[in-house]
Structure 1
Amino acid sequence: MSEVRGLFHLPEGGPYLLAHSVGCQPRSAMDVLGAGMLEPWRTAGGGAWSRWLETIETFRAAVATLLGVDPATVAPQTSVSAALFTLLSGLAPQPGKGVVLLSEQAFPTIGFVLAPLVRLGLTARFIPAREDPSDPATWERHFDGSVAAVIAMHVHSNTGLVSPVAEITALARRHGALSIIDLAQSAGILPTASREWGADALIGSCVKWLCGGPGAAYLQVREGAIPALQPLDVGWFAHEEPFVFDIHDFRYAADARRFQGGTPSIAPFALAAEGIRTVLEIGPERILANNRDCIAAFEDEASQSLDWSARSGTLCLVCDDAPGATAALSAAGFAHDFRGDILRASFHAWNAPDEAAALARTLRQAGVTFTPAC
């Protein structure tokens, strides 16, 4: 993958292992930002809107290609939190059916979004963190007819565990619940079989494996699920005919634009579309293959099998000496992070197996032992 490194600006220092946090900037990003945002503004002023809206449509098309869906089912969002609130606020209240099911291992923002939605009759039901979210039986134990929606992380950020998405969506269909899958830690590195999964909605951001920068997220809603969802967070771009300009006439757009809200930002979506394009040009399957080669090199150097084939692209390792580990890795120039005593290190297209081997060697020389997070 050495030829791929040249597609990205790599931060100064040693190996960059933070794709799970912020993906590297594509070298083409500046030109795309100029063409998609700045040049139309500079040359056309208010007349730039036609070009700017083309940028939004380019983003929708890029997400659709990535996920293998129709662009009409994709709505740009500012964040995963915004996408989730917009989606859940559109649920029609049903007596005795107000539970939203999720694991305590979900990213905290998911729980934060749910907390105030109690005002709309929605109550979170948390699967305890000690219960394995990668086991279908875990989800089945907590499902019943009171569940209105289920939210599953495709990948859990602190463990790398992968949810049994197809089984969860099947449970949701059986119980008449909306199924929502969070792709923030998986899109761009793991396959996203949206049609096979049968999920009602997919949410995700572009700042991590998709190398699209902050401020651009997406909400994808199954075509058949769109008509029943009437979000509260709307604006003129959620209107069926946004340029009618009749303040007394609001009609939801027939497609996923109903979730789009008000006037969109342009720059984040220009950058995100280019990040997705770059990842697709390389090929997510090639990125994953390189990732697995790097993990194999890490295991060989560590003389330790991690059995990571069914997990994400991020090594999540519980270290017996987290301060010692981060001191040694920082001194060696590795860009990494810790969540408590869990080391997180990701291998993207710009990484090589020798970097992964060096990571294991540095930990060994520091006397740090580790086990997979669970």
Structure 2
Amino acid sequence: KDVISIARMQGVMSIVDIAQTAGVIPIDFADWQPDVVAGSCVKWLCGGPGAGFLWVSKQILNQLEPVDIGWFSHKNPFEFNIHNFEYADSALRFWGGTPSVLPYAIAKNSIDQMYRIGVKKVREHNVMLARKVIDALPASWLVSPDEDQYRTGTLVVNPPIRDALEARLNALNVHFDVRKRGFRLSAHIYNTPEQIEQVINALL
């Protein structure tokens, strides 16, 4: 939100990428008032690969002329005149050509399920599980912010003797990412406190 305000004061457009937060952090466009928001359905929305989304403020919708266009982008898609192109007056101007339907069908059902659960509930569950890990491990291992309000859904910890601990986690079939700065743990709504206890025991 602060970045959007700064951009507006500078007279520039704001484009916000929420691929890492949609589905785990409550988002309010009415409060943010961004110009453009883009994201992916992969990560926290559990929508699988191949589907993304784009939201554009009505105030600037007709000012933007996307370069990557297709027949759905046309004001009259059935005109079939290659020498004439007019952008659709609606968000269809960003649609492009015929999409692969299956990824969008999967993503829609996943997003509907996440909506029924509620992002606020997902966030509370995520914070509760992350707090268990934070409170159990030495503070020196923590890479992510300790304060819940400054942390995304992912918790990064950097323990010593990483190879041995990585092997322990793999033996428990824990899904995690290994990065230069540490292990990335992303507890979702389907993870249980018992699973988190297993992770903590493996790390300690």
**With structure 1 as the length reference, what TM-score do the two structures score?**
0.51
Deviation at 1:189, TM superposition (A): 0.5
Tell me which residue corresponds to 2:176: 336
CA displacement, residues 29-48 of structure 1 (integer Å, 9 cap, x when unaligned): xxxxxxxxxxxxxxxxxxxx
Tell me which residue corresponds to 1:307: 146
Deviation at 1:302, TM superposition (A): 2.8
Instruction: Write the distance in 2 (CA, Å) between the matches of 1:197 and 1:233.
Output: 27
Tell me which residue corresponds to 1:353: 193
Tell me which residue corresponds to 1:271: 106
Letter of the structure 1 residue corresponding to residue 80 of structure 2: F
Tell me which residue corresponds to 1:362: 202
Tell me which residue corresponds to 1:251: 86
**Residue pairs, 1:79-228, within 5 angstroms:** 166-228=1-63
Letter of the structure 2 residue corresponding to residue 236 of structure 1: W
Letter of the structure 2 residue corresponding to residue 325 of structure 1: L
Instruction: Write the distance in 2 (CA, Å) between the matches of 1:322 and 1:223.
Output: 49
Partner SS state of residue 178, structure 1? coil
Tell me which residue corresponds to 2:166: 326
CA contact (8 A) 2:168 2:202 kept: yes
Instruction: Write the distance in 2 (CA, Å) between the matches of 1:268 and 1:256.
Output: 20
* Superposition RMSD in Å: 1.7
Letter of the structure 1 residue corresponding to residue 56 of structure 2: V
Pick aligned residue for 1:237 from 63, 66, 72: 72
CA contact (8 A) 1:287 1:349 kept: yes
Partner SS state of residue 203, structure 1? strand
Deviation at 1:318, TM superposition (A): 2.6
CA displacement, residues 307-355 of structure 1 (integer Å, 9 cap, x when unaligned): 2402111111233333222112112221111112421011111111222
Tell me which residue corresponds to 1:298: 133
CA displacement, residues 280-319 of structure 1 (integer Å, 9 cap, x when unaligned): 1111111111111211222343365862402111111233
1:287 counterpart = 2:93? no
Letter of the structure 1 residue corresponding to residue 37 of structure 2: L
**Residue pairs, 1:51-66, within 5 angstroms:** none
Partner SS state of residue 296, structure 1? helix
Instruction: Write the distance in 1 (CA, Å) between the matches of 2:156 and 2:133.
Output: 13
Give the unaligned 5+ runs of structure 1: 1-165, 365-374
Q: How many residues align?
A: 199
Letter of the structure 1 residue corresponding to residue 197 of structure 2: A
CA contact (8 A) 2:134 2:146 kept: no
Instruction: Write the distance in 2 (CA, Å) between the matches of 1:300 and 1:175.
Output: 42
Letter of the structure 1 residue corresponding to residue 87 of structure 2: Y
CA contact (8 A) 1:294 1:354 kept: no
**Where do 4+ consecutive residues of structure 1 move more than 6 Å?**
none
Instruction: Write the distance in 1 (CA, Å) between the matches of 2:179 and 2:112.
Output: 30
CA contact (8 A) 1:301 1:361 kept: no
Instruction: Write the distance in 2 (CA, Å) between the matches of 1:171 and 1:303.
Output: 37
Identity %: 38
**With structure 2 as the length reference, what TM-score do the two structures score?**
0.91
Instruction: Write the distance in 1 (CA, Å) between the matches of 2:33 and 2:67.
Output: 25
Deviation at 1:358, TM superposition (A): 2.1
Tell me which residue corresponds to 1:317: 157
Instruction: Write the distance in 2 (CA, Å) between the matches of 1:341 and 1:321.
Output: 13
Partner SS state of residue 224, structure 1? coil
CA contact (8 A) 1:298 1:353 kept: no
Instruction: Write the distance in 1 (CA, Å) between the matches of 2:64 and 2:158.
Output: 41
Deviation at 1:274, TM superposition (A): 0.7
Deviation at 1:215, TM superposition (A): 0.4
CA contact (8 A) 1:290 1:352 kept: no
Partner SS state of residue 59, structure 2? helix
Partner SS state of residue 289, structure 1? helix
More relative contact order in 1 or in 2 (CA 8 Å, sep 6+)?
A: 1
Partner SS state of residue 14, structure 2? strand
